[in-house]
Amino acid sequence: MKLISGTSNVELARGIADVLDVPLTSVDIERFRDQEIFIKINENVRGEDIFLIQPTSAPANDHLMELLVMIDALVRASAKRITAVVPYYGYARQDRKTGGRTPISAKLVANLISKAGADRVLTIDLHAGQIQGFFDIPTDNLFGQPVFETDIRDLFSSADRDQLMFVSPDTGGVVRTRSLAKRFGADIAIVDKRRPKAGEAEVMNIIGDVAGRSCILLDDIIDSGGTLCNAAKALKDQGANSVSAYITHGVLSDPAVERISNSELKEVVITDTIAQPEKVKKCERIREVSVAKLLGEAIRRIANDESVSKLFG
Ligand code: R5P
């Protein structure tokens, strides 16, 4: 097997390489003056099982194009199998037509990755599980849940766990929330969220009695932070003891960091699917847990034709 990283999250790629004890393959990634991308793989990859690590986080279009160009270089270099490891799948939120004359960009991106020559895709917590069906190649959608479960068990003593309540910030996240709550034998609550317009989140109601409980919000993405910060305020207003959040993908567009710092959220735990700038790393209320081990183990299993679902059994 060979591991290759694009430029979008080299730290995570190094973490995966450490877990697998496989070095990252040397590659030159350059930009022409007009910003076209040029790739040169510096090692022989003929007949190799390649895992190409490149989340398509911001700048999403550059990182996506880099992924496609790298796949093309690998195909032309006669790699045997190419797995696009895309821990954060950008454009996933555009998974259906939201109105007349609008695109389904999540499907377009799936087409681009397949057409470029990827044989498989490996990702984590797709915004909607159905996006797997947008690919006509095998797609493994891992769950960040085990990483969060371990962290929560470390953080809350068994006595404190009785007070836990897992909260879905919208109806779309109920299945994910119920699944983690079950692992703790805990209750769930649901936030009835509306979006009056794109980028704005408004809490209408809280379904469930959260008074006196330690609430944990679960979501796949934190972008502007509106959803989570508004949910945290509503939960506190309803008497929650504390509110923290576990989110797989820290998109964290401005002004998310400021919003979190001034919010009712005690802590926001994100994973390292997306590389974070200093501003996020310095924020005392944001903590990062790594998915390198999870991805490394999944890659090892794919390379050895072992079950990936056993990871979550
Ligand atoms: C929406 O369905 C997603 O799961 C997230 O809740 C949403 O993307 C978060 O966006 P923001 O942080 O901008 O409210």
End-to-end CA distance of the chain: 26
Mean pLDDT of the chain: 96
Shortest-distance Cα residue to atom 10 of ligand 1: 223
Provide the residue type at 183 as one letter: R
Please choose from 95, 222, 233, 246 the residue to mutate so as to test ligand 1's pocket, defined by most ligand atoms within 8 A of CB.
222
pLDDT of residue 187: 97
Q: Which residues pair with 246 in a beta bridge?
A: 218, 269
Cα(51)–Cα(66) distance, integer angstroms? 15
Q: Would you give the DSSP letter of residue 131? A: G
Measured in angstroms, how far is the CA atom of residue 299 from the centroid of ligand 1? 28
Please choose from 190, 219, 286 the residue to mutate so as to test ligand 1's pocket, defined by most ligand atoms within 8 A of CB.
219
Residue 291 sits at φ, ψ, to 5 deg, of -105, 10
Q: Is residue 193 annotated as a catalytic residue, yes or no? A: yes
Within 6 A (CB) of ligand 1 lie 169-170, 172, 201, 219-227
Shortest-distance Cα residue to atom 8 of ligand 1: 221
Cα(85)–Cα(100) distance, integer angstroms? 33
CA distances, 44 to each of 76, 135, 220, 292 (Å): 12, 28, 37, 25
259-307 per-position pLDDT tens digit: 999 999 999 999 999 999 999 999 999 999 999 999 999 999 999 999 9
pLDDT tier at 45, thresholds 50, 70, 90: very high
Cα(91)–Cα(76) distance, integer angstroms? 27
Is pLDDT above 90 for 200?
no
Domains, in order of start, for the chain:
2-143+293-312 (3.40.50.2020), 145-289 (3.40.50.2020)
89-131 per-position pLDDT tens digit: 999 999 999 999 999 999 999 999 999 999 999 999 999 999 9
Is pLDDT above 80 for 198?
no
Measured in angstroms, how far is the CA atom of residue 276 from the centroid of ligand 1? 18
Measured in angstroms, how far is the CA atom of residue 227 from the centroid of ligand 1? 6
49-60 per-position pLDDT tens digit: 999 999 999 999
Of 80, 107, 193, 236, the catalytic one is 193
211-244 per-position pLDDT tens digit: 999 999 999 999 999 999 999 999 999 999 999 9
Q: Is the model more confident about 101 or about 203?
A: 101
Ligand 1 atom closest to the Cα of residue 227 is 14
Shortest-distance Cα residue to atom 2 of ligand 1: 172
Measured in angstroms, how far is the CA atom of residue 226 from the centroid of ligand 1? 8
Provide the residue type at 127 as one letter: H
pLDDT of residue 203: 76
Tell me the DSSP string of 42-56: -S--TT-EEEEE---
Shortest-distance Cα residue to atom 5 of ligand 1: 221
Please choose from 221, 246, 257 the residue to mutate so as to test ligand 1's pocket, defined by most ligand atoms within 8 A of CB.
221
Cα(27)–Cα(22) distance, integer angstroms? 15
Is pLDDT above 80 for 199?
no
pLDDT of residue 105: 98
Closest CA to 247 of 228, 219, 273, 223: 219
Cα(81)–Cα(46) distance, integer angstroms? 10
Shortest-distance Cα residue to atom 1 of ligand 1: 221
